Homo-oligomer: A and B are copies of this chain.
Amino acid sequence: MRSSIFEVMAEPNRRRILDLLRERERSVGELVKETQLSQPGISKHLRVLREAGLVEVRQKGQKRVYHLRAEPLEEIDNWLEPYRRFWSDKLDALEKHLNVEDKHSTEAATPEKKG
Q: Which residues of A come within 8 Å of B, CB atoms? A: 4, 6-7, 9-10, 12, 15, 18, 22-25, 67-71, 73-74, 76-77, 79-80, 82-84, 86-87, 92, 96, 99-103
So how many copies of this chain end up in the complex? 2
* A48, chain B: closest CB distance, angstroms: 13
* Complex A-B, nearest 8 residue pairs according to Cβ-Cβ distance, in ascending order: A70-B86, A10-B10, A6-B10, A70-B83, A7-B10, A24-B102, A71-B87, A73-B83
Contacts of A67 in B (CB 8 A): 96, 100
Whether the pair A79, B15 counts as a contact (CB closer than 8 A) is: yes
Inter-subunit contact B74/A87 (CB<8 Å): yes
In the docked arrangement, what's the CA distance between A84 and B74, Å? 8
